[in-house]
Structure 1
Amino acid sequence: MGGMALVAACWGIWHLVSGLLLAGFWSSNPLKKQRTA
């Protein structure tokens, strides 16, 4: 496996993990809706 393929694989896995963690965090802590207008 080439170096670029390894980097791309790690990048994709990182995006999956971080995306799931952020989704779980945001679903447990809903953002407060602020009206600035």
Structure 2
Amino acid sequence: MKIRLTFNFETCLQREIHAHQIAYLIKMIEAPDNLL
């Protein structure tokens, strides 16, 4: 059970990171001047 909970947590964490990466890419595409 502990292994399963750890796996679920890692999966959620990876999804969160992936979502942040997508949001960052969208910001980069919509407003590239803000990153300079």
**TM bracket (short chain):** 0.5 to 0.7
Alignment correspondent of 1:8 = 10
The SS at the match of 1:31 is helix
Tell me, which stretches of 5 or more residues in structure 1 are unaligned?
Answer: none
What is the RMSD computed on CA atoms of the aligned residues?
2.3
Question: Number of matched residues?
Answer: 34
Q: TM-score, with normalisation over the residues of structure 2? A: 0.68
Which structure dedicates a bigger proportion of its chain to helix? 2
1:9, 1:20 → 2: CA distance? 16
Q: Percent identity?
A: 6
Of structures 1 and 2, the one with the larger relative CO (CA 8 A, separation 6+) is 2
Gaps of 5+ in 2: none
Larger Rg: 1
Instruction: Write out the 4+ residue segments of structure 1 that deviate beyond 2 Å after TM superposition.
Output: 31-34
